[in-house]
């Protein structure tokens, strides 16, 4: 099975998102911040007439960093439970084919990654972690509460 | 009315269509409870709708079917094949009648009596075949109408397509602007814009309808119901200009009708019962609708007797659904929830109006079917409040856009009471600790900074306030930095991560495509510490505003009629009003005043002073006792912090103190109320005798006569006598003055003849009699 995967750059590391769930990859224009919400929710943008909830993936990893700059990042648009989300990553350029079925992660990939990475996949670009979209959207607080 | 009728026909037809499958399934298995319930709801709904229209045949038929099915539901009767046949025949017959109604023909005379008899189980085998023939009579197809029913999904799709077109047009407009003038595209672009706007309007109209259309039928319904029941009910409708999905309006109509019928029938008491309970004769039914983002809140509130939970609990035990132990462990709220149990009702008699109380399980099932919720709150003796929340996935929300902390937000317009600004210079503020209060129409409203509530920036010198009215009358002032405009916005749901903050109800896009958050103004208000006043919306007045945190007694400073500056504790002052000197009776120490429908003892009137034409009256209230205090003007509100010097020889004054450098006498409230207590204890100078219906006069008239300063005597001569109309004239001579009462309203049949519930006239007559006798 040659599943197509979108390679993204997140917190300086490469990871993949299954291409079937990706609606599009966009550059962001104006972003409306949302007050009093979790830090990894970067704000709202509009994709045509639908609202797009922006997820700052680096903050969602739980990494202690500056918020990602909306003007330089890319947003991977995915639909999750009826809502559109924009996953903000540093780059999203390549599409690669999976060379094997996803396997276990193996050794602990480090803080944050163990929560948002669901599996390890061998691809044409090497072995990469596959991102769990639900975990990215939920963010670090949800994990603490659970 | 034609619209309503067409809707009734369409709705019934739709239900009939949906029912076809259920009927077959029920026929196959008459013990199937779920199918039985569905069919029962159908006839119940048809019967209910008939209350609107004049279709006695249809109503009789559906009522009979409902009765029969209710017996089956309650287990009193088995659904044998004869009953099933009869019910099916009735449903077919309803279909025929609906066809006739639709074509505007008179309803055909058919075998309805036979059907009803069959339902009641009074027919034998012979007649069943006749029913059969009725049942299989072909239903003529209705004449074609110029309307079609479309799936909502399709309209949604068109609607969102139009929204995208608007955005594309705006994008085009921006690009054209950057090209400069004379591109040659202006005229076609203008035409395109106009067309898009037209299509957008049309498509919006296909789904939206003002809830007013539904609500406007309620006053008439309530009027007819209350007349039938011998009750008086005022209806107050507040629609908040809410627009609602056409489909949703159809869905909420039945539940609303049920609740209103129940409120009038079971909630609001008969006039005599209300008077005995110290309420106004006429009940009050408030129906309101408000839009809050994706939810419409519909409230139905009555001031009736409340839900009798004990009776409900007893019924639950009798019906075997709960054990006494389970009931004993329940809270009042849990007991109220028993009202949703099928077949339980506190109504003692089955009436044509709200049936046997099957309502609530049906009502809740219907509301929950489309994702809504129903909440009931009830206080014994004070009334019941129903709150229906229904979701609104696609709606046009009239909104006000505001700015705070550099961001734009939308506020649903249905909450906006008024916008006020300090620019006019006549706003009055109070500062209680960190909380600012704004005086708006004599009410002190807490100010809440939107910037601060959203953890943005707080503007310390706000100039603009949006006065917001939450459900049930809570008001507050939202401080904002700028106010932009009114928009008609299409609201979209937010993702759960954002909804979690609880401060927003949805998001929307401005014309340029920028997303804007829609505020949940209720959550912001209550989140910022606004107290909830759920049950008593009238309780918040300026007088109930929190007192200053400084030590010392808050007083109202006023000038008395004798020219002295006096102060009185603010806590006893209920109201300040103006009254004419003619309302004052017997100026002097025993003075009284007529205020509205009350006669109150009036203090502060010197015996030897000419009364000004109009006086200021402080209404004092403590422990249920009321006294009026006369003044020439109210000067200020102050705090007593100086030393109080005792004075001698002054009645009703505790002492003298300095306020703002001038002396003021502090009124002795204790002495005031003490003298009043002695007064009502029976030292009235005038006597009054009651001739007639002993209980009514004693219980109803007695208190007000005593309050007016009379002493009631059982027999013998009296100063004033109240005589009921039908008692002979002879007895009157034992009183110096007689007031005749009649039991029916209408024109008077003689001098001093007063309808016995015309309170104002009664009061006036008492006062007049007193004046005449004193003269």
Please tell me the distance from the alpha carbon of residue A132 to that of residue A113, in angstroms, as a whole number: 10
Binary contact (B163, A32; C-beta < 8 A): no
Q: In the prediction, which pLDDT does B370 show?
A: 59
Binary contact (B497, A36; C-beta < 8 A): no
Binary contact (A83, B493; C-beta < 8 A): yes
**Gyration radius of chain A's alpha carbons:** 15
Q: In the prediction, which pLDDT does B538 show?
A: 34
Question: Higher confidence at residue B516 or residue B37?
Answer: B516
Please tell me the distance from the alpha carbon of residue B501 to that of residue B88, in angstroms, as a whole number: 53
The segment with the largest mean pLDDT, out of B284-288, B311-315, B356-360, B696-700, is B284-288
Q: In the prediction, which pLDDT does B546 show?
A: 36
**Gyration radius of chain B's alpha carbons:** 33
Binary contact (A38, B517; C-beta < 8 A): no
> B728 CB contacts (<8 Å, ≥6 apart)?
none
Residue A14: strand pairing partners: A9
Question: Does residue B728 surpass a pLDDT of 70?
Answer: no
> B28 CB contacts (<8 Å, ≥6 apart)?
none
Binary contact (A37, B497; C-beta < 8 A): yes
Q: Does the beta carbon of B170 lie under 8 angstroms from any beta carbon of chain A? A: no
Three-state SS at B552: coil
Work out the pLDDT band at B135, boundaries 50, 70, 90: very low
From chain A, the residues in CB contact with B513 under 8 A are 46
Contact B63, B51 (CB under 8 A): no
From chain B, the residues in CB contact with A53 under 8 A are 494-495, 497-498
From chain A, the residues in CB contact with B507 under 8 A are 44, 51
Please tell me the distance from the alpha carbon of residue B497 to that of residue A70, in angstroms, as a whole number: 19
Cα-flanking dihedrals φ and ψ of residue B302, to 5°?
-120, 160
Residue A122: strand pairing partners: A127
Question: Higher confidence at residue B774 or residue B409?
Answer: B409
Work out the pLDDT band at B718, boundaries 50, 70, 90: confident
Instruction: Identify the CA nearest to B628 among candidates B605, B650, B651, B652.
Output: B605
User: What is the mean predicted confidence (pLDDT) over B599-616?
Assistant: 78
Question: Does residue B338 surpass a pLDDT of 90?
Answer: no
Three-state SS at B512: coil
From chain B, the residues in CB contact with A139 under 8 A are 497
Across the A:B interface, residue pairs with CB atoms under 8 Å apart total 70
Q: In the prediction, which pLDDT does A75 show?
A: 92
What is the least distance, in Å, from the CA of B528 to any CA of chain A?
Answer: 14
User: What is the mean predicted confidence (pLDDT) over B651-660?
Assistant: 76
Question: Positive or negative CA dihedral for B427, B432, B433, B436?
Answer: negative
Please tell me the distance from the alpha carbon of residue A129 to that of residue A114, in angstroms, as a whole number: 10
> B13 CB contacts (<8 Å, ≥6 apart)?
B95, B98, B142
Question: Positive or negative CA dihedral for B500, B502, B506, B511?
Answer: negative
From chain A, the residues in CB contact with B516 under 8 A are 32
Measured at the CA of B160, the angle between CA B154 and CA B166, to 5 degrees, comes to 140
Binary contact (B498, A81; C-beta < 8 A): no
Question: Does residue B505 surpass a pLDDT of 90?
Answer: no
Instruction: Identify the CA nearest to A60 among candidates A146, A142, A136, A1.
Output: A136
From chain B, the residues in CB contact with A41 under 8 A are 497-498
pLDDT tens by residue, B432-453: 888 888 888 778 888 999 998 8
Binary contact (A49, B493; C-beta < 8 A): no
User: What is the mean predicted confidence (pLDDT) over B514-542?
Assistant: 66
pLDDT tens by residue, B752-766: 677 777 777 777 777
Q: How would you classify the pairing of strands B243-245 and B233-238?
A: unpaired
Question: Does residue B270 surpass a pLDDT of 50?
Answer: yes
Q: In the prediction, which pLDDT does A78 show?
A: 93
Please tell me the distance from the alpha carbon of residue A80 to that of residue B564, in angstroms, as a whole number: 76
Cα-flanking dihedrals φ and ψ of residue B526, to 5°?
-70, -35
Work out the pLDDT band at A44, boundaries 50, 70, 90: very high
Question: Does residue B7 surpass a pLDDT of 70?
Answer: yes
Instruction: Identify the CA nearest to B272 among candidates B624, B699, B599, B690.
Output: B699
From chain A, the residues in CB contact with B167 under 8 A are 48-49
What is the least distance, in Å, from the CA of A123 to any CA of chain B?
Answer: 32
Please tell me the distance from the alpha carbon of residue B566 to that of residue B287, in angstroms, as a whole number: 45
From chain B, the residues in CB contact with A48 under 8 A are 164, 167
Binary contact (B515, A83; C-beta < 8 A): no
Q: In the prediction, which pLDDT does B774 show?
A: 65
What's chain A's average pLDDT?
Answer: 86
Contact B765, B756 (CB under 8 A): no
Binary contact (A49, B497; C-beta < 8 A): no
What is the least distance, in Å, from the CA of A31 to any CA of chain B?
Answer: 8
The segment with the largest mean pLDDT, out of A48-62, B502-516, B622-636, B756-770, is A48-62
Contact B462, B449 (CB under 8 A): yes
Work out the pLDDT band at A53, boundaries 50, 70, 90: very high
Share of chain A above pLDDT 90, in %: 27
Q: Does the beta carbon of B515 lie under 8 angstroms from any beta carbon of chain A? A: yes
Question: Higher confidence at residue A49 or residue A86?
Answer: A86
pLDDT tens by residue, B54-106: 787 888 888 888 888 888 888 788 777 778 778 888 888 888 888 888 777 77
Length of chain A counted residue by residue: 146
**Interface probe with A: pick from B406, B494, B495, B511, most Cβ of A within 10 Å:** B495
Q: Which helix (H) or strand (E) holds B86?
A: helix B81-102
Contact A127, A121 (CB under 8 A): yes
User: What is the mean predicted confidence (pLDDT) over B284-312?
Assistant: 83
Three-state SS at B644: coil
From chain B, the residues in CB contact with A33 under 8 A are 407
Binary contact (A46, B509; C-beta < 8 A): yes
Question: Does residue B409 surpass a pLDDT of 90?
Answer: yes
Please tell me the distance from the alpha carbon of residue B64 to that of residue B69, in angstroms, as a whole number: 9
Binary contact (B494, A51; C-beta < 8 A): yes
Q: In the prediction, which pLDDT does B775 show?
A: 61
What's chain B's average pLDDT?
Answer: 76
Binary contact (A36, B513; C-beta < 8 A): no
Work out the pLDDT band at A15, boundaries 50, 70, 90: very high
From chain B, the residues in CB contact with A81 under 8 A are 496
Both tokens of A60, joined, read 């969602």
Q: In the prediction, which pLDDT does B124 show?
A: 52
Binary contact (A36, B503; C-beta < 8 A): yes
CB atoms inside a 10 Å sphere around CB B735: 22
Work out the pLDDT band at B548, boundaries 50, 70, 90: very low
Q: In the prediction, which pLDDT does A17 show?
A: 93
Question: Does residue B131 surpass a pLDDT of 50?
Answer: no
Residue of B nearest to A37 (CA): B501
Q: In the prediction, which pLDDT does B471 show?
A: 55
User: What is the mean predicted confidence (pLDDT) over B329-340?
Assistant: 78
Please tell me the distance from the alpha carbon of residue B180 to that of residue B190, in angstroms, as a whole number: 16
């Amino acid at each position: 099975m040659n599943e197509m995967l979108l390679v993204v750059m997140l917190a300086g590391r490469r990871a993949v998102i299954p291409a079937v769930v990706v609606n599009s990859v966009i550059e962001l224009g104006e972003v409306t911040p949302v007050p009093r919400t979790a830090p990894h929710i970067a704000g709202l943008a509009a994709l045509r007439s639908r609202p797009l909830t922006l997820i700052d993936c680096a903050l969602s990893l739980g990494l202690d960093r500056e918020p990602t700059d909306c003007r330089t990042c890319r947003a991977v648009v995915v639909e999750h439970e009826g809502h559109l989300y924009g996953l903000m990553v540093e780059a999203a350029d390549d599409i690669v084919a999976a060379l094997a079925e996803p396997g276990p992660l193996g050794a602990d990939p480090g803080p944050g990654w163990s929560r948002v990475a669901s599996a390890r996949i061998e691809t044409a670009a090497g072995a990469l972690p596959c991102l769990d979209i639900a975990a990215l959207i939920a963010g670090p607080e949800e994990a603490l509460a659970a | 009315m034609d619209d309503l009728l067409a809707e009734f026909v369409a709705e019934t037809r739709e239900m009939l269509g949906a029912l076809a499958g259920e009927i077959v399934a029920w026929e196959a298995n008459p013990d199937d409870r779920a199918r039985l319930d569905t069919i029962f709801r159908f006839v119940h709904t048809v019967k209910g709708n008939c209350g609107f229209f004049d279709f006695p045949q249809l109503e009789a038929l559906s009522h009979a079917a409902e009765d029969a099915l209710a017996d089956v539901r309650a287990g009193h009767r088995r659904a044998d094949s004869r009953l099933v046949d009869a019910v099916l025949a009735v449903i077919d017959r309803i279909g025929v009648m609906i066809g006739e109604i639709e074509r505007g023909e008179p309803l055909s005379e058919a075998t309805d009596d036979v059907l009803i008899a069959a339902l009641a189980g009074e027919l034998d085998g012979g007649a069943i075949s006749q029913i059969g023939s009725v049942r299989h009579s072909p239903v003529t197809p209705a004449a074609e109408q110029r309307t079609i029913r479309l799936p909502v999904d399709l309209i949604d799709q068109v609607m969102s397509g139009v929204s995208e077109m608007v955005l594309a047009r705006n994008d085009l407009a921006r690009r054209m602007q950057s090209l400069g003038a004379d591109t040659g595209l202006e005229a076609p672009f203008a035409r395109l814009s106009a067309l898009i706007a037209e299509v957008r309007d049309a498509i919006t109209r296909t789904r939206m309808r003002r809830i007013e259309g539904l609500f406007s039928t309620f006053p008439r319904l309530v009027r007819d119901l209350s007349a039938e029941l011998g009750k008086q009910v005022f209806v107050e409708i507040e629609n908040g200009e809410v627009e609602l999905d056409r489909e949703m309006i159809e869905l909420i109509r039945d539940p609303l009708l049920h609740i209103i019928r129940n409120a009038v029938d079971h909630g609001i008491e008969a006039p005599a019962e209300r008077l005995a309970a110290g309420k106004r004769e006429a009940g009050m039914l408030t129906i309101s609708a408000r839009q809050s983002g994706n939810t419409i809140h519909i409230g139905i509130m009555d001031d009736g007797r409340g839900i009798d939970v004990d009776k409900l609990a007893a019924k639950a035990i009798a019906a075997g659904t709960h054990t006494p132990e389970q009931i004993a462990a329940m809270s009042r709220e849990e007991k109220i929830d028993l009202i949703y149990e099928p077949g339980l009702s506190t109504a003692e008699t089955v009436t044509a109006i709200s049936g046997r109380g099957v309502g609530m399980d049906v009502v809740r099932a219907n509301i929950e079917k489309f994702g809504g919720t129903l909440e009931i709150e009830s206080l014994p003796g004070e009334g019941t409040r129903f709150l229906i929340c229904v979701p609104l996935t696609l709606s046009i929300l009239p909104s006000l856009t505001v700015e705070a902390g550099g961001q734009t937000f939308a506020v649903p317009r249905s909450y906006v009471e008024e916008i006020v600004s300090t620019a006019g210079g006549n706003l009055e503020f109070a500062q209680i600790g960190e909380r600012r209060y704004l005086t708006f129409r004599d009410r002190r409203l807490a100010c809440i900074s939107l910037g601060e509530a959203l953890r943005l920036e707080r503007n310390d010198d706000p100039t603009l306030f949006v006065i917001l009215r939450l459900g049930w009358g809570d008001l507050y002032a939202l401080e904002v930095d700028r106010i932009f405009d009114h928009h008609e916005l299409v609201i979209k749901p937010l993702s759960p991560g954002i909804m979690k903050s609880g401060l927003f109800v949805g998001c929307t896009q401005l014309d340029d495509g920028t997303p804007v958050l829609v505020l949940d103004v209720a959550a912001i208000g209550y989140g910022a510490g606004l107290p909830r006043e759920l049950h008593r919306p009238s309780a918040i007045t300026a007088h109930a505003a929190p007192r200053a945190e400084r030590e010392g007694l808050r007083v109202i400073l006023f000038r008395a009629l004798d020219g002295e500056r006096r102060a009185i504790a603010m806590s006893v002052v209920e109201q300040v009003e103006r009254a004419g000197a003619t309302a004052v009776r017997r100026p002097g120490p025993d003075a009284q005043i007529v205020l509205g429908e009350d006669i109150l003892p009036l203090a502060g009137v010197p015996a030897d002073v000419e009364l000004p034409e109009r006086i200021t009256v402080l209404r004092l209230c403590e422990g249920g006792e009321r006294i009026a205090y006369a003044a020439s003007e109210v000067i200020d509100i102050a705090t007593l912090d100086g030393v109080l010097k005792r004075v001698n020889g002054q009645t009703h004054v505790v002492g003298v103190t300095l306020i703002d450098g001038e002396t003021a006498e502090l009124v002795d409230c204790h002495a005031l109320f003490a003298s009043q207590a002695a007064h009502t204890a029976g030292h009235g100078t005038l006597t009054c005798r009651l001739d007639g219906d002993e209980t009514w006069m004693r219980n109803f008239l007695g208190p007000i006569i005593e309050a007016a300063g009379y002493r009631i005597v059982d027999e013998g001569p009296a100063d004033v006598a109240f005589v009921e109309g039908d008692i002979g004239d002879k007895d009157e001579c034992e009183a110096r003055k007689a007031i005749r009462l009649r039991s029916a309203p209408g024109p008077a049949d003689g001098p001093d003849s007063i309808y016995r519930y015309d309170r104002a006239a009664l009061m006036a007559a008492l006062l007049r009699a007193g004046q005449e006798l004193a003269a």
